Amino acid sequence: MTSGARSRFSGPSDLHLHSNHSDGTESPTEVVRQAHAHGIRTFALTDHDRTTGWDEAAAAAAELKMTFLPGMELSARHQWRSVHVLGYLFDPTDTALMAETERIRSDRIGRAERIVRNIGRDYDLRWDDVLAHTTADATIGRPHIADALITRGFARDRTDAFAGILHPGSGYYEPHYAPDPHTAVRLITQAGGVAVIAHPVTSGRDRMLPIGILERLIAEGLGGFEIEHRENTETGKRQLREIAARHDLVVTGSSDYHGMAGKPNRPGENTTSDEMVARIIDRATGTPPRYA
Ligand code: AMP
Ligand code: ZN
Ligand code: FE
Ligand code: FE
């Protein structure tokens, strides 16, 4: 396949990074610097349910001569399963997509308050403790509650908090509003973006979507799967590679970096091939990459 895009960027490419515009611990500038320091030359910023980090990431990328792909990780849900859909190069002014992200973000606030109230039955934790760990721009999530639990001495780190108090089995958990995966894929695609299911085969409660649903999503315009991700199981990856090959889908590999202190994931621990990055760029019509 020939691609005009292919000569305009260089790898290694990491297409899944979070900043403090959602639940990462670092500003977009710091994230971009860390990605560069880890050898990455092309990257996507994919904060949960928001795009406000793009401008700062683009400026930092320009300074370091990196290529920036604007992105987002859109929250969705199928029954009890949380499904994350990565969107790349969509139009950030698309009204339907932006209205949906607004709805998710505002519901996430009430949901986090409910979780904190539940935890407050057994621990001395208040909503203000959580707010102290967020910025005005942040999409609120359980990681912010984890930070408050750490400050209060009820958890060692985020991993510890997620394994215990924040675990869905703890009795404190509450879900937040999220569209079904079909709606998520449609909104991203209609905004000119490329939709890729994030970490589709983690073990535990967020197991792979039923094959029938995946096939329907592909028919509806799903672009691909994030296959190389530390939380995907080996069996699941094999299955997904097969489905992707059969339907000629994009396959990606990414770190899902949340900051040096946020999660053990490091930029570049998984990468996406130049061919796949070029396919994403060639397919998208919503907004162009910011080339070095
Ligand atoms: P929420 O969207 O509020 O339900 O929180 C889920 C977010 O928490 C995801 O983006 C994960 O990256 C993050 N997360 C999940 N498990 C952990 C963990 N063990 N340590 C740190 N962050 C985690
Ligand atoms: Zn996250
Ligand atoms: Fe995710
Ligand atoms: Fe993520």
Give the pLDDT confidence score for residue 205 in this predicted structure.
Answer: 56
pLDDT in tens, 12-33: 999 999 999 999 999 999 999 9
In the structure, which protein residues have their CB atom closer than 6 angstroms to any atom of ligand 1? 23, 141-143, 158-159, 162, 258, 263
Query: Residue 35's domain spans which residues?
Result: 3-101+176-283
Residue 145 CA: nearest ligand 1 atom is 3
Mean pLDDT to the nearest integer, 164-186 = 97
**Residues with CB in 5 Å of ion ligand 4:** 73, 256
- Whether residue 19 is contained in a domain is answered as yes
Domain count, the chain: 1
- Residue 105: phi and psi, rounded to 5, are -60, -45
- Whether residue 207 is contained in a domain is answered as yes
- Whether residue 180 is contained in a domain is answered as yes
- Whether residue 231 is contained in a domain is answered as yes
Q: Can the peptide bond before residue 12 be classed as cis, meaning omega within 30 degrees of 0?
A: yes
The residue nearest atom 16 of ligand 1, judged by CA position, is 162
Higher pLDDT, 241 or 2: 241
Residue with tokens 């002014």: 93
User: What pTM did the predictor assign?
Assistant: 0.97
Ligand nearest to the CA of 198: 3
* Domain harbouring 254, CATH code: 3.20.20.140
- Whether residue 130 is contained in a domain is answered as no
The residue nearest atom 5 of ligand 1, judged by CA position, is 142
Q: DSSP string of 22-68?
A: TT-SS-HHHHHHHHHHTT-SEEEE--BT--TTHHHHHHHHHHTT-EE
Give the pLDDT confidence score for residue 117 in this predicted structure.
Answer: 98
- Whether residue 80 is contained in a domain is answered as yes
- Whether residue 114 is contained in a domain is answered as no
- Whether residue 183 is contained in a domain is answered as yes
The residue nearest atom 11 of ligand 1, judged by CA position, is 143
